[in-house]
Amino acid sequence: MHHPGPPRFLSTGETTQLAPRDPDPEATYEWRIVDAPPNSEATVGETPITEFTPDVPGHYRLGLNAPDGNHALTVRAFPAAYENVDVAAGSGEAIRDRDADRAEIPYAGDRAHDGIGRPRVRLDASVEGDAIVVDAMATPNPDSELAAEDLDVTFVIDDRDVSSAIAAGRTNPRDARQVTASGSETAIETDGSGTTLRVPTRTVPDRLRVHAVAVAREPGHEPRISVADAVAVDRVGSEGSAGDASAPIDVDPIGDTDSTGRSDPTGRADSPGGTGATSPDERFTVTRLNQPPEWTENARVYEVYVRTFADADEGETFDAIADRIPDLADLGVDTLWLTPVLTNDGKPHGYNITDFFDVADDLGDREDYEALVDTAHDHGLRVLFDFVANHTARDHEWFQDAYRNPDSPYRDRYEWQDSGEPGTYFDWELIANLNHSNLSVRRFLLDVVDEWAPLVDGFRCDMAWAVPDSFWRELRDRVKAMDSEFLLMDETIPYIPGFHEGMFDIHFDATLYFQLRQIGRGAAPARTVVDAVEQRAEIGFPDHAGFLQYIENHDETRYRVECGDAAAAAAGAATVTLPGVPMVYAGQEIGQRGRRDSIAWEHTRGEVRERYERLLRTHADHPALGPEGDLERVGYHVASGDLSERPIQADGDAVHPDDVVAFLRGSGPNALAVVLNFAPAEAAVAVDADHGRTNVVTGEPCVVTDGDGTERIAVDDVAVVPIGE
């Protein structure tokens, strides 16, 4: 089906890319504006993949004429902060501008946000009698003075499901949702803590998808809209969950109201609109579409830089990696991220790909790769494929034909500079950026997805910030239709909240990475790790978004080289005890100092390996340390001979209060107190919580009493102590 996908929630002046799905490069596609607010002069281009920028607030209906019929796409535009900002590919963030200025942006330092950040929203659905009930829980931004009941919620029912309902002879759910079984005039109810949408079950086709945003109207500010959330309700036994299997219809105008009943400023208003779970009603199942896979709630990732991980002869690398799988399972990780394994231009990192459909000969053959994946699965490890969608190598056959050849059939498949050189980023001279506005490129990349996704458990998506979001939205629907628990993880640095809207499950937390480096260098106090985590909500990530937490990877200097062994021990513990998905980069667990050097397995530092085994076992045994566990600040006091302020010295012998942080994880009987110490010397920390006496990481007593009779937690690098024990 060529439908362009889910509805879009935009700010005026924000650009989104429009593209037919599952495209045929030989087919004809035409876009048009079917309905728009009064005074709008917005247009769509004449190319199959084009862009749309709403110019006034309100409700837009865009039409796509495709080989399989006419399709409609709803765009809801809000007056807000992105006017006069040229944003490529529709992220709503200036970071996505495809220009050389991006090189000046520091690696994920604190991200300033203009004024008060976005609110957040979560959708849940259930079946109550003869109605589908969708509950929206809207939450103000942490910096906002608004209460939850001050927020509005805008629902949009997915255009694809409206088409399916009408094609099946059912009532348009956008119309039927205005009348409940009791005959009330509206199906939208506000109860002070959330907003509820009711849709009669008789109108529901095989699949009903509801999307929504929370809207915060701060006094004196333009409205702020949340990252959209979405929920799907599927009839049991239907094919509705398998992607976009809905019939196209001619587009038709509609009229709606928002959750407060107020009129839309344009005279129109908003149309009402993870992890799968069967509802109490056996006729339907419910899926939270933006919820990360359930298995990631306690996942522990291990990155393998494939060409230096194991000492292997030419063509035997996959076998050598497979031989080390039992050792990785014993370490305590359960997810394997392999850097690119495809045929490339010979650079060891593998990101300059020349053949997207075959593995690199120096690593082994296709059967060897599949055997490696099978071995990982046999030992309880999932495998992530490093998916490169932004570029090819210059050695790729397309580029070789297109370079300096205006008549090449591949010429339009790349971006080109005025100089005649291909588009690229930074000083990367051996790659060429693909033109994602080309149907053949889109078709090619989707074929690559179909080739590799069935073999693995997820994609780590390289340079996700450089690829238009319309592609990622289609990729998500495509792979989730194959496997609802398939993981999508983006490398977007700094992270962007909008990338959790129908695109990615887990995001690289380079902000936490950067802050841990600052602490290790002595440039920031240890307590700022909590600030880094809280920033996720402050800039608008929903509470259900996942984050990959790391202190090093194949692109960065080893943490211990820059910050010392003591800080490295505490920083590694931070990634395991803060809310997120911890990652270990190959060699980190044995004290490796070279970034991409061959792993010196014969020089393993046993104490470092044992420390990571204990940490990862603790993470596995205590779900409160996972992404779902609450993070709460707690009062604490650090015993030190000198409590006066001084610069932190990561390699000093004394403990300063700024070397230490304490916080609480989880709630109720499973709650834990965590203390991290970045200094080389042991710290004694009084924590303002009723805690036990055993450090569950070591299994040994950790409480001492000072001269004043105060009980303190003694901590070398990390102590995790049960609360209320």
For the annotated catalytic residues, the residue numbers are 462, 491
**Bridge partners for 35 per DSSP:** 61
Give me the phi and psi of 512, to 5 degrees please.
-65, -40
Q: Is 673 helix (H, G, I), strand (E, B) or coil?
A: strand
Which residue carries 């003694």 as its tokens? Answer: 714
- Which burial class, exposed, middle or buried, applies to 372 when counting CB atoms under 10 A from its CB (0-12, 13-18, 19+)? buried
The answer to whether the CB of 617 falls within 8 A of the CB of 333 is no
Would residue 412 be called left, alpha or beta, if left means φ above 0 and alpha means ψ between -120 and 50 degrees? alpha
DSSP codes, 621-667: H-GGGSTTS-EEE--EEE--S--S-----TT-SS--GGGEEEEEES-
Q: In this structure, are residues 275 and 285 in contact, taking their beta carbons and an 8 Å threshold?
A: no
Instruction: Return phi, psi of residue 368, to 5°.
Output: -65, -40
Which residues, other chains included, contact 547 with Cβ-Cβ below 8 Å and sequence gap of 6+?
495, 506, 507, 508, 509, 512, 536, 579, 580, 581, 627
In contact, 236 and 160? CB cutoff 8 Å: no
Q: Residue 467 and residue 433: Cα distance in Å, rounded?
A: 10
What is the rounded CA–CA span in Å between residue 336 and residue 695? 29
> In what order do the strands lie in the sheet containing 188-190?
120-128, 131-139, 195-200, 188-190
495 SS3 class? coil
Residue 530: what are its φ and ψ, rounded to 5°?
-70, -40
First CA to last CA distance, the chain: 57
Say how far residue 565 (Cα) sits from the centre of its chain: 31
The H or E element spanning position 209 is strand 207-216
Determine the Cα–Cα distance for residues 715 and 346; give it in Å rounded to an integer. 47
d(CA 444, CA 462): 17
Give 73's strand partners.
Answer: 62
Cα separation, 410 vs 308, whole angstroms: 35
* Category of 632 on φ-ψ map: left (φ > 0), alpha (ψ -120 to 50) or beta: beta
Q: Write the single-letter amino acid at 560.
A: R
Residue 496's nearest CA partner among 227, 138, 133, 216 is: 227
Contacts of 707 (CB under 8 A, 6+ apart): none
* Beta-ladder partners of 335: 301, 382
Backbone angles phi, psi at 324, to 5 degrees: -95, 0
Provide the 3-class DSSP secondary structure of residue 286.
strand
What's at 438, amino acid-wise?
A: N
